[in-house]
Amino acid sequence: MEAFVKLDGLVAPLDRANVDTDAIIPKQFLKSIRRTGFGKYLFDEWRYMDQGQPDMDVTHRPRNPDFVLNQDRYAGATILLTQDNFGCGSSREHAPWALLDYGFRCIVAKGFADIFYNNCFKNGILPVVLPTKVVDDLMGQVKKHAGYRLMVDLPAQTITTPGGETIRFEVDAFRKGCLVDGLDDIGLTLRHAADIQAYEERRRAEAPWLFAGQTR
């Protein structure tokens, strides 16, 4: 998993509450567990005017000109600013996969659905919860000023605006450490690889019949 320390990113505003995971990545695209290739189908039913299907060439699909991510001023955005209860609905991990594959490393919102929130940390995305007034103020600034960027500093737990205002946010210390070090669940387990190997060797000596027919 790619580490997250600091991010100087262009912000895209998704001014909607209760965005569910089926809107983030529709159900017909859940046929792969490769974690990559989902970005082109992110918000598929909102981005495109036709019905999307797996392995579809999106190059010439008709796009909805009114959808925020289809506007040139937000091309290359790495921070998504949105409203409350983002990521509600099903627990599909494909939702953060699609957001990450599209290019988003940080999502700022008034609140998140619990499972989606947890899945973000496990996939290298930083979800930030800010008070309603702060999000509303940022939303207005992003819409008003083209090229609006934020500096996100995870170790310091701050977001800095173009005007120099510093906004603090809270994050669980363990999750913060995992993101800064680039450790997902597998990475955390592999830190104990030597202990795991030693245990297996000891069990092989203590109970060899359990390993009969296995190759090492």
Q: pLDDT for 19-69, tens place per residue?
A: 999 999 999 998 878 888 999 999 999 999 998 998 888 999 999 999 999
Separation of alpha carbons 202 and 109, rounded Å = 49
Cβ atoms of 99 and 86 within 8 Å: the answer is no
Cβ atoms of 13 and 142 within 8 Å: the answer is yes
User: What's the pLDDT score for residue 205?
Assistant: 78
**b (16+ CB within 10 A) / e for 102-135:** bbbbbbbbbbbbebbbbbbbbbbbbbbbbeeeeb
Does pTM top 0.75 for this prediction?
yes
User: What's the pLDDT score for residue 188?
Assistant: 66
In this predicted structure, the answer to whether residue 120 has a pLDDT above a threshold of 70 is yes
Q: pLDDT for 192-212, tens place per residue?
A: 667 777 787 788 778 888 777
Share of the chain above pLDDT 90, in %: 73
In this predicted structure, the answer to whether residue 111 has a pLDDT above a threshold of 80 is yes
Cβ atoms of 124 and 179 within 8 Å: the answer is yes
Strand partners of residue 208: none
User: What's the pLDDT score for residue 160?
Assistant: 98
Tokens representing 7 are 């991010």
Closest CA to 98 of 52, 18, 37, 19: 37
Domains of the chain (ranges, CATH numbers): 6-183 (3.20.19.10)
Q: Cα–Cα distances in Å, from 199 out to 99, 149, 205, 207? A: 39, 49, 10, 12
